[in-house]
């Protein structure tokens, strides 16, 4: 165990010195954890106000005080970004500074200090490089990097933690949704709400996810892939799904709910808005009544973990509507463009790519 309480795995860890090609079955990657070699850790103690002495350490368990802010009161944020191996074998990160900015915004809301953008991006580069052999071959998946910002200091009273830990670990992944194209069937949830005005729905707080497990588990038990949440204030407008933003398309117009506190400002969402407008589509960020979703030509979801995936059907109170998916759809064009830039197949003219 080292000074920051990280239990270090021995070099003779489960995967030892195995070669890249037989690390795991690259053809069967899902969105589930495959432990990799290293993680990055950085601390900020009370009084310091700034993070320092970040370093790589072997991937392993983290020791926490039973009274830490994150365990007792959920003072924590998560991020998610990917390293992609292109057909040219080069490894690219996509807009990592956007994750840094989003973490800073979330930290401000959760009364936490945050790493600078430079520290954040530097730590992600180091994590990706140290786990390079885990970046799947081109076309097989990507290396998902999960940064966390946690209140790790001991605190019994309900107040900000006296010490914070930034941590980034990685896992090779396939798509978040393993269902085939056209088979994403969503239900609309009208009893449980994901976010409330003034709450934390607009940041990546770790507390945003488990409160919706029950609704999602129940929907899955009925055969749905995921659920779409409605706005808590009126119950009339669509917001987002469990772990992704949602877009609807009718004709040449693509719409998505606006960033106004209850919608997660997705980096893929932001990118799709930019890419779609270059491609000549009309893009609208505005409140979308549920009826509009039920009358759309296409619906699709975006997120780091899922990229872009078309929704096959939506069911609301027993009424089911189906959407166009596959060849010739708008979401397919956007998918090809987005993944083309991420993997180097399409030239990055925006400075979005950080090669490692």
> Mind telling me the catalytic residues?
204
CB of 14 to ligand COI, least distance (A): 24
Element of type H or E holding 326: none
Contact between 80 and ligand COI by CB under 6 A: the answer reads yes
Contact between 299 and ligand COI by CB under 6 A: the answer reads no
CB of 337 to ligand COI, least distance (A): 18
Stretch that binds ligand COI, among 60-68, 284-292, 299-307, 308-316 (CB under 6 A): 299-307
CB of 242 to ligand COI, least distance (A): 8
- Residue 230, beta-bridge partner list: 238
Stretch that binds ligand COI, among 105-113, 194-202, 303-311, 330-338 (CB under 6 A): 303-311
CB 143 within 8 A of CB 136: yes
Complete DSSP assignment for 246-296: EEEEETTEEEE---SSSS---HHHHHHHHHHHHTT-EEEES--BHHHHHT-
What is the largest distance, in Å, between two alpha-carbon atoms of the chain? 59
> How many whole angstroms separate alpha carbon 100 and alpha carbon 201?
18
Residue nearest to ligand COI (CB): 80
- Who contacts 164 (Cβ-Cβ below 8 Å, separation ≥6)? 43, 44, 51, 112, 113, 149, 150, 151, 152, 153
Contact between 103 and ligand COI by CB under 6 A: the answer reads no
- Residue 163, beta-bridge partner list: 45
- Compare residues 91 and 148 and give the one whose CB is closer to ligand COI: 148
For the packed helices 96-109 and 117-130, what is the interaxial angle rounded to 10 degrees?
130
Contact between 172 and ligand COI by CB under 6 A: the answer reads no
Return the DSSP state at 354.
E
How far is Cα of residue 270 from the mean position of the Cα atoms in its chain?
13
C-alpha distance from residue 162 to each of 65, 67, 86, 104, 264 (Å): 12, 11, 42, 18, 27
Site for ligand COI, residues 176 to 235, rule: CB under 6 A: 176
* Binding residue count for ligand COI, defined by CB under 6 A: 6
Stretch that binds ligand COI, among 46-54, 92-100, 298-306, 339-347 (CB under 6 A): 298-306
* x-marked contacts with ligand COI along 132-171 as a string, rule CB under 6 A: ----------------------------------------
Candidates 303, 310, 312, 344; binder of ligand COI (CB under 6 A) is: 303
- Compare residues 57 and 331 and give the one whose CB is closer to ligand COI: 331
| Torsions phi, psi for 38 (to 5 deg) | -130, 155
Candidates 243, 311, 314, 334; binder of ligand COI (CB under 6 A) is: 243
CB of 202 to ligand COI, least distance (A): 14
> How many whole angstroms separate alpha carbon 188 and alpha carbon 314?
7
> How many whole angstroms separate alpha carbon 169 and alpha carbon 324?
37
Contact between 304 and ligand COI by CB under 6 A: the answer reads yes
Contact between 305 and ligand COI by CB under 6 A: the answer reads yes
Element of type H or E holding 236: none
CB of 127 to ligand COI, least distance (A): 15
Contact between 342 and ligand COI by CB under 6 A: the answer reads no
Q: Provide the binding-site residues for ligand COI, judged by CB under 6 A.
A: 80, 176, 243, 303-305
């Amino acid at each position: 165990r080292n000074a920051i309480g990280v239990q270090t795995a021995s070099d003779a860890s489960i995967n030892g010195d195995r070669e890249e090609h037989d690390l795991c079955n690259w053809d069967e990657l899902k969105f589930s954890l495959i432990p990799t070699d290293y993680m990055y850790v950085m601390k900020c103690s009370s009084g310091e106000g700034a993070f320092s002495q970040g370093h790589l350490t072997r991937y392993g368990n983290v020791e926490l005080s039973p009274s830490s802010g994150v365990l007792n009161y959920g003072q924590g944020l998560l991020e998610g970004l990917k390293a992609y191996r292109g057909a040219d074998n080069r490894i690219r990160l996509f807009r990592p500074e956007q994750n840094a900015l989003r973490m800073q915004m979330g930290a401000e809301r959760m009364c936490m200090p945050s790493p600078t953008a430079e520290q954040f991006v530097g730590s992600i580069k180091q994590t990706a490089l140290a786990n390079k052999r885990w970046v799947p071959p081109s076309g097989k998946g990507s290396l998902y990097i999960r940064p966390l910002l946690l209140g790790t200091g001991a605190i019994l009273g309900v107040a900000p933690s006296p010490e914070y830990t930034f941590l980034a670990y990685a896992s090779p992944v396939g798509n978040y949704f393993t269902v085939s194209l056209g088979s994403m069937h969503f239900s609309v949830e009208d009893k449980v709400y994901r976010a409330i005005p003034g709450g934390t729905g607009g940041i990546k707080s770790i507390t945003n996810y488990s409160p919706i497990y029950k609704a999602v588990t129940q929907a899955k038990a009925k055969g749905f892939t995921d659920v779409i949440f409605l706005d808590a204030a009126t119950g009339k407008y669509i917001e987002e799904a469990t772990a992704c933003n949602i877009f609807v398309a009718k004709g040449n117009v693509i719409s998505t709910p606006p960033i106004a506190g209850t919608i997660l400002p997705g980096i893929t969402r932001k990118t799709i808005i930019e890419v779609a407008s270059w491609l000549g589509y009309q893009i609208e960020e505005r409140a979308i009544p549920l009826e509009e979703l039920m009358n759309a030509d296409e619906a699709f979801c975006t997120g780091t973990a899922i990229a872009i995936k078309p929704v096959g059907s939506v069911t609301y109170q027993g009424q089911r509507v189906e959407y166009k998916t596959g060849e010739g759809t708008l979401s397919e064009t956007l998918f090809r463009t987005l993944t083309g830039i991420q993997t180097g197949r399409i030239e990055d003219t925006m400075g979005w790519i950080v090669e490692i």
